Structure 1
Amino acid sequence: MSPIFYATVVLLFVAVVLAMEGAYIWWNSRHGPVARRVESRIRAISAGAPLDSERLSILKQRLPGDSTPFERALMLLPRVRGIDHFLRQAGMQWSVARLVATCAVIPPVVFSLALFTQAPLLVIAMLALLSASLPVLYVRGRRARRLRQLERQLPEACDMLARALRSGHAFSLAIDMVGTEFAEPMGGEFRTTFDEINYGVSLNEALANLAMRVPIRDLRYFVIAVLIQRETGGNLAEVLDGITVLIRERFKLFDKVRVLSAEGRLSAWILGLLPFIVGTLMMFLNPGFLQVLWQDPMGLKMMVAALSSMAVGVIWMSRVVALRV
C-alpha cells in the first residue's frame, strides 16, 4: 500500500482521538464534578439573601439565564424562590421545575399500579393524591439530615477558626481555611461565605447570609457573637472557645435525651405502621377478607373511627417523645 494510505489512516486515528478528547473536555466542563460544584456555589450565593445595589448581579443573572422557559416561568410565581432556597438547604441539585414535575408524575403512576388491586376507587384516588407529597418529604428528610450534619460539624469548625486566629490569621482568611480544609457540607458553606467576601460583600452581610442559608440556632449564636465582637472588640478566639464548649455540652444533653426516649419513639413507629403493613399484606394474600370494610356502611364507620383514633394516638405519642433541649 502507498504511504498516502498509511498517512490517511494515522491522521484519521489522530482526528478521532482528538474529537473524543474534545467531546470529553466539553462534557466535563459543563457537567463534570467541578462544574457541578461551581453551579452549586453560584446557586447558594444567589439564594443567600437579597443584596442591595448591583452586588453579585452577574451570578444572579446566570442562574435564570441558563434555565428553561418553564423554570423561568416558575420563578415568577410567589414563594417559588423560597422552595429553591429549601432545595439548596437540602444540598440537592434539583431545580424547582424538577421537583414540581416529580410531584406531578408520581400520582398517575401510583394510580395505575393501584388499579391492579381490588381496593375501592376512592381509596386509590386518595393514595395517589397523597403520593404527590413523597418528593417533598424526601427533600425535607435530606434537608433535616444535612442540617444535623452541619450542626455536628460546627464545634470543630469553631475550633479551627480559633486556632487560625491564634496563629495570627485574619478572620476572613480563617474562613477560607475552614472552607478549604473542612469536610462537606460545612466546608462548602464557608467557601460560599469566603466567595461572597471576595466578590465585594461586607463581612457582616456575608455572615448574615451564612446564617440565612443554614438555619441552625448554634450557627446564629456564632454569627451574633462575631458581629458583636467586631463592634465592641475583644478576644474572638476565646469567644469561639466558649461557644464550642456550650455547643458540645448541649450535644451531650441532647444525646442523653435521645437515648432515654428511644423506646417511646420506636413504639410510636411500630404502632403507627403495623396496621397499614398488616392490612396491605392481607389485601394481597386474601383480597376478599377486607372488602366488608368498604362495602358495608358499618365497615366504613369502623375505618373512619380507627383512622381517627390512630391519628390522635400518633399525635399524642409524638408529643410525648418530642423533648426539646
Structure 2
Amino acid sequence: MTPLLLGSTALLLVAAAMALWWGLATRLQQRAAADHAATRLTQPETRVSADELRNQRPPSKRWQDLLRRAGLTPSARTVVLLVVPGIIAGVGAGLRLGVAGFGLFVLLLYFLGIGLWLYRRMEKMQQRLVAQMPDFLENMVRMAGIGNSLSMAFQSATQNVEPPLRPILDNALTYTRAGMDLDRALQHAAQSYHLRPLEMLAVILGTSIRIGGRSDQILQRMSDFMRDLEEVQRELQATTSETRMSAWVLGLLPIVAGLFMALASPDFFQPMFHDPLGKKILLVAALMELGGGFLLYRLAKSL
C-alpha cells in the first residue's frame, strides 16, 4: 500500500499542476483581450489593467487576496489554523513510523489537501459571485432605463445586492467617493477576486463614461448571456458528476487506505523505505499510479 500511497500523492500533484497549466492559457488570453480592448477605448495614461494591479501588490497582500477568494478571513489566525495541524500530523506520522521521509510525505499530503480544499472554496465563491451578477446587471439596466446615469444606476442597484457580491460593490463606491472613476474603482475593488464579469463590467462602464453609447443594451445582453451560461454549466455538472466523483474516489482510495495501514502497522512498511528492492517497488508503483491517474483525469476532462 505504501507504493500506492506515494504514487497517489504524486498523481494528485500532477493533476493539480495540469489543471492549473491548462486553465492558465485560457485565462491569460481572456484577460489580455479585455485589457487590449480597454486600452484602446480608454485613455492610456489613466488606464491600469487588472493584471498590473494584482502584480503591484506585495506577496503578503496576495496571500490575503487568496484567502478572500476562498471566503476566509485574511488574518494570521487563519494561517496558523491551516498550517499547524499539518505540522503536527507530519511529526506524529514520522515518529509513528520511525522514518522522517514518511513524516515529510504526510506533511506534503496535508498541504496538498489544503490546496485542493482552498481551490474548491474559491470555485464555489466564484460561482456565487457570478450567480449574483445577472440580477445586479438587470437592476442597473432598469435604473438606467428610467433616466439615471450609469453611476447612479450602479449605486442604486448595489443597495439590492446581498453578500458576497455586496462588499465588493460597496468598496467600489467608497473609491468613487474618494474621487476615482467608477470603472477604475470597480477594478480596484475586484482585483482580489479575479472575477471576469466584474472586469468586463469595468470595461463597459469606462467605455460608456468616456465615449457614450447604449451601454444598457450591452449590460442586458451580458446578463442574458451569463444566465444561459450558468444554466449550461449546471447541466454539464449534473451530467458528469458521477464520472468525476468516481475518478476522485479511485484516486483518493489508495492514499487513504495506504496511510491508514502504514500508521496502523508501521513495522510492515519500514522495509519499503530501507530495502533497495522496496525503493524500486515504490518507484514502479508511483509510475503506474501516475499513468492510471492521468487516464482518469483525461476521462473526466473529456466529458
TM-score (norm 2): 0.69
Q: Which residue of 2 aligns with 1:214?
A: 193
Alignment check: 8 A CA contact 1:150 1:186 kept: yes
Q: Which amino acid aligns with 1:86?
A: L
Mapped partners of 1:236, 1:198: distance in 2: 23
Deviation track 1:218-242 (CA, whole Å, cap 9, x = no partner) reads 3322222232233332232222111
1:269, distance to aligned residue in structure 2 (A): 0.4
For residues 134-213 of structure 1, the aligned pairs below 5 Å read: 137-213=116-192
Q: Which has the larger radius of gyration?
A: 1
Q: Is 1:120 paired with 2:99?
A: yes
Could you tell which deviates more after superposition, 245-254 or 137-146? Answer: 137-146
1:94 to 2:100 alignment: no
Asked if 1:80 is matched to 2:38, the reply is no
Structure 1 Cα separation of the partners of residues 276 and 284 of structure 2: 13
1:260-316 residue CA offsets vs partner (Å, 9 max, x unmatched): 332331121011111122223434555555455335432322222222322343344
Shift of 1:251: 1.8
Specify whether residues 323 and 145 from structure 1 end up closer, same or farther in structure 2 by C-alpha distance, changes over 3 A only.
farther
Q: 1:31 aligns to what?
A: none
Contact 2:67 2:74 in 1 (8 A): yes
| Contact 2:72 2:78 (8 Å CA) reproduced | no
Residues 208 and 223 in structure 1, CA contact (< 8 A), matched pair in contact too:
yes
Distance 1:262 1:244 in 2: 27
- How many angstroms apart in 1 are the aligned matches of 2:98 and 2:290? 22
Instruction: Name the CA shift for 1:254/1:290 in 2 (closer, same or farther; >3 Å).
Output: same
- In 2: Cα distance, 1:178 partner to 1:202 partner: 18
Q: Which runs of 5+ in 1 are unaligned?
A: 1-51, 53-76
| Aligned-partner Cα distance in 2 for 1:303–1:83 | 35
Q: Is 1:257–1:323's contact at 8 Å kept on the other side of the alignment?
A: no
Tell me if structure 2 keeps the 8 A contact 1:99–1:135.
no
Instruction: Give the CA RMSD over aligned residues.
Output: 3.1
C-alpha separation in 2, matches of 1:132 and 1:239: 43
Contact 1:107 1:132 in 2 (8 A): yes
* Aligned residue pairs, count: 249
Can you list the C-alpha shifts for 1:6-51, whole angstroms capped at 9, x where unaligned? xxxxxxxxxxxxxxxxxxxxxxxxxxxxxxxxxxxxxxxxxxxxxx
**Does 1 or 2 have the higher relative contact order (CA < 8 Å, sep 6+)?**
2
1:77-132 CA distance string (max 9 Å, x none): 9533322232333343223x446545653444123422563363321233235535
Unaligned runs of 5+ residues in structure 2 are 1-44, 46-56
- Code of the aligned partner of 1:299: G
> SS at the partner of 2:73?
coil
**SS of residue paired to 1:150:** helix
- Report the AA paired with residue 214 of structure 1: Y
Q: TM-score, normalised by structure 1?
A: 0.65
Q: Determine whether 1:230 maps to 2:209.
A: yes
User: How high is the sequence identity, in percent, across the aligned residues?
Assistant: 23
